[in-house]
Amino acid sequence: MKHKLIEGDLLVRDASFAIVVSRWNELITRRLLEGALETFRRHGGSEENITVLWVPGSFELPLVADRLAKSGKYKAVCCLGAVIQGSTMHHDYINHQVAAGIMRCSQESGVPVLFGVLTCETMEQAMDRAGGKVGNKGGEAALAAIEMVNLLQSIDQSQA
């Protein structure tokens, strides 16, 4: 028996995307944003179809992402942030809640909401993931957003 394969490609087709960026650790998050914007451009996206919003910190990402996802204006929302471990357990509380909030937002809205939040032990690790040795996780979140938008459209078309 031959199975049916449904995949999302990596081309932006006149879709609107939102990127929500944490101002906390802006040295890192600005690089994540640059990676995301470059990825959208490389895959056919237009600057006019991308809205960037800044929030105070990563903890605020899910609320704004939820509002955007439910607005009906965007095909996907990318959340970009950087939580770097300090000398307390503060990062654990933030990371768990941000991840859960972003997932809940995506599930409740039906709109892909991507987790581009670095959860690193050191600033060096964060730099490596924001355009350094390990690539740019902001660009990876944008690429996942493009693929998910196209995958969901393919699913809808296959059921029509």
Handedness of CA 108, 114, 120, 123 (dihedral sign): negative
Nearest CA to 21 among 96, 81, 73?
A: 81
Provide φ and ψ at 94, rounded to 5°.
-65, -50
- Whether residue 83 is annotated as binding a ligand: the answer is yes
Nearest CA to 115 among 152, 145, 70?
A: 145
The pair of structure tokens assigned to 83 is 């939580």
- Whether residue 88 is annotated as binding a ligand: the answer is yes
Pick the catalytic residue: 3, 43, 90, 96?
90
- Whether residue 17 is annotated as binding a ligand: the answer is no
- Whether residue 82 is annotated as binding a ligand: the answer is yes
43 is a catalytic site residue = no
- Whether residue 115 is annotated as binding a ligand: the answer is yes
Distance CA 66, CA 81 (A): 16
Q: Are 38 and 86 a contacting pair, CB within 8 Å?
A: no
Query: Binding site membership: which residues?
Result: 24, 58-60, 82-84, 87-88, 115, 129
Query: Binding site membership for 5-amino-6-(D-ribitylamino)uracil: which residues?
Result: 24, 58-60, 82-84, 115
Catalytic positions, please? Answer: 90
Query: Binding site membership for (2S)-2-hydroxy-3-oxobutyl phosphate: which residues?
Result: 87-88, 129
